[in-house]
Amino acid sequence: MDATRSGTRRMLRRLVMGLAAFCTLTTAQDSYDAVYNDIGSLPCVRLLNATGAIGCQSLNAASGVLYRTDTLADIQHFASDHDLKNKYTVVMPYWLLTSSNVETLRSTDKLSAIIAVVNGTDAAHTVAARPATINSPDSKCPNCEFGLYANTPNQYQWNPTGTDLLSQQFDFPIYALNTMDDRNIMSYNAVIQAVNINRFKGYSSYPLKSLQFHSFMWAAQDTGTCLRKGWCTPVGGASVWSTPSLNISSSDNKPIVVISAAMDSRSLFHDLTLGVESSITGMVTVLAVAEALSRSSIPLDTMQKHILYTLFTAEAWGFSGSQRFVQDISSPVNCIKPPASGSGCTYPFFSDLDFQHINPANIDIILEAGQVGGITSPAGGSPTLYAHIDNLQPTASAALLTQIVQVGSGALGNTTTPPATNAAVPVQAANGDGTQRGLPPSSAMSFLKARATIPTVVLTDYQKQMSSFTSQDLDDTWDPVNTVNAIQQAASVISKTAWMQAQGVSDATLMTPAQQQAIGSIQVNVQLVQDLLLCLTRNYSCPLIDGYLNVTASPSPPTRLPHYAGTLYSQSQPFSIFAWNFLANVTSVKGVTQNATGVPPPQVTGCSSRSETVQCTSDQFCVGDQCIQTMTRYHDAFGVGLGMAEDNSYFIKDASKPTWTESTWDPVGLRLFDVTSPGSQGGELAAGIVLTIVSIVLVVFGRRFLKKTLKVD
């Protein structure tokens, strides 16, 4: 009896307590929703290297009344307006975010944060409102301190108008707005609506709309400090290399033709980094080259030379991908702790050791596609491609340069005539004007640092100056005609030159009739170039990628994904994964090579769609629902100045080499709320204090009164 009663009572008590907790929770959530409006955020974050830090940090949760500036005059007006007594969040078009403007704002002591609008629907934020010339926010010579000419006095400055905004340190939050998808359109509309209300009220009649920011970065000082505390992760990802020669070996003495490009780029807001001109055009070129060469009527793996495609990640961070690749293939792997099962090595860590098949001494030539999209600001006319060679060893590359220009001029007879609808993009030697500038910043430099005499040509769309879109958040568009033409021509020139080189031909006029015939099979697929441009920028769920990765099966198929390299092992590498699958597919042996009996090897399909019944053999990979054999591998990319210890922690191995890391952060976010005038805030505080005093007095006197009347102790 007693037990039941106490049981019931306990249950009742629990019920009441649960109800009370529920009520508090809902009211707390309700009142939160009534006060705050959470907004999707595109933050600028903190990065560190061996000597310091760049990017944004905010030690306290900053908040500021939204203030709108559309022009330079607005910024100056804000700075000189003494009626503004609050802290402000300045909303400005992205192109106004320059070092000098930021300094003007910061020095007013009224700035709490900046919101930069990259693309917006408001008249001030459209493309038309941008000035004709926009300067690159990168340095005057991006990554040159880690390049081939780092120790050469007076090295050529490839980005002379670069503002170097990216290498600055900001101790307040900077966020971006960009109307690129539904979620971000909502954020944009909320902020613009709020700032317009404030402007309508003249920033003086309260309540005004205010934004609060959380962007607390854990790391400070430099990479050495934050790695020691475990508060940062190396910037890096996965490079991809691939060769049609399945049997490539370090001892086959067969020369290697390297075809290379970068896969990543950088900008202030990593969620927005696309780098169409900065890197995607080069990546598309290499993928198009691989596809074109895969159609060679002479099988590639039977040629005199190997062909090796390399797509490097983290190149925007001191050529980390290419330098690490060159470093790893150049030194023998001393595996101290072999893996329990499978390939690779546990310490030092390698997911596979197949890169040892590449003998750096066999690398015969390097062809690289840099910025080849002809995308400039102000928009230029039809593009020209320039072939750059090293100026320290100019004779090594002279013959290759001549050959590239010859191929580019269409001197291969009727087989290479470009489609009549498009005018061919001219190809010129970059030193044709008599000035030896050397190589522009490129992955090839990493190879040349190891062996300076490798004949190397880097193809770009500039002769003297990189595109002003270099490392821009605005580098998100291209010209549907010029860009596609330029990429097609670059891919065509590189594929034909590589093909001839692999055939051992260094002069087009010396080709045999059979070769003349065969080279005609190398045609760059224009449709593929267009598809790749779209897939790699705005629609990761396009049919081309979906065919390999079945991305549309996900509940929310990805569309635009950032091309920032990310942090090592902690972020997915969508573009590396696609590049791997694409290269694996086009370089794989599928019926071209016949086996001993003269019958093409049987093709096994369904390994992905019917994975429970169809399984590939251990030496095969499942690519696009088909079991294939391929020599396509990932290769870890992170600064060669960093090392990985046995316990998977990182340390600085060589501070003179790239050591970029990204800080760990607390969840970032921004929320919109109404702020009352400073006067009424003081009133609220005073009222609160008075109320507290009154209740204390009431309690004291009340107790005394009750004690007296009830006569209890």
Partner 1 sequence: MAKPIEKMGADEILVISRKLFYGGFCLLPLLWVYNILYIWPVRNRADLSPLVRRYLLLSGILAAMLFVYFSVWYGVFVKERLNWGARGDLLTVVLVKGV
Q: Where on the chain is the footprint of partner 1 (CB under 8 A)?
A: 57, 59, 216-221, 224-225, 228-229, 231
Nearest-approach distance from CB 59 to partner 1, in angstroms? 5
CB of residue 61 to partner 1, shortest distance in Å = 12
* Cβ-based nearer residue to partner 1, 169 or 221: 221
Instruction: Give 88 or 665: the residue with its C-beta nearer to partner 1.
Output: 665
The answer to whether 478 touches 279, Cβ cutoff 8 Å, is: no
Taking the least distance from each CB to partner 1, the nearer of 228 and 704 is: 228
CB of 109 to partner 1, least distance (A): 21
**Least Å from the CB of residue 359 to partner 1:** 40
Angle at CA 406, nearest 5°, toward 377 and 411? 110
Q: Which residue number, 57 or 456, has a Cβ lying nearer to partner 1?
A: 57
Which DSSP symbol is given to 145? G
CB of 103: closest distance to partner 1 in angstroms? 23
How, if at all, do strands 626-628 and 232-234 pair?
Answer: unpaired
Which amino acid appears at position 202 of this protein?
Answer: G
Dihedral sign of CA atoms 615, 617, 622, 628 in order:
negative
Measured N-to-C along each axis, helices 526-537 and 281-294 cross at an angle, to the nearest 10 degrees, of: 140
Q: Among residues 54 and 524, whose Cβ is nearest to partner 1?
A: 54
Decide whether 153 or 667 has the Cβ nearer to partner 1.
667
Containing 635, the helix (H) or strand (E) segment is: strand 631-638
Q: Give least dist CB 663 to partner 1, A.
A: 9
427 contacts 307 by C-beta, under 8 angstroms? no
Q: How far is the CB of 55 from partner 1 (least distance, A)?
A: 13
Return the percent helix, strand and coil in the chain, to nearest 5: 35, 20, 45
Q: Residues 161, 468: contact at Cβ < 8 Å?
A: yes
Provide DSSP, 6-32.
HHHHHHHHHHHHHHHHHHHHHHHHHHH
Q: Which is nearer to partner 1, 171 or 181 (CB)?
A: 171
Residue with smaller CB distance to partner 1, 227 or 457: 227
Any bridge partners for residue 310, and if so which? 241, 260
CB of 229 to partner 1, least distance (A): 6
- Phi and psi dihedrals of 215, rounded to 5? -150, 65
Q: What angle do CA 386, 390, 393 make, to 5 degrees?
A: 145
DSSP label at 280?
Answer: I
Query: Measured from the CB of residue 164, what is the shortest distance to partner 1 in angstroms?
Result: 24
Our CB check for partner 1 shows the closer of 79 and 220 to be 220
- Per-position DSSP letters for 414-456, written without gaps between them: GGGPPPTTSPPPPEEEGGGGS----PPS-THHHHHHH-TTS-E
Closest CA to 326 of 337, 336, 315, 334: 315
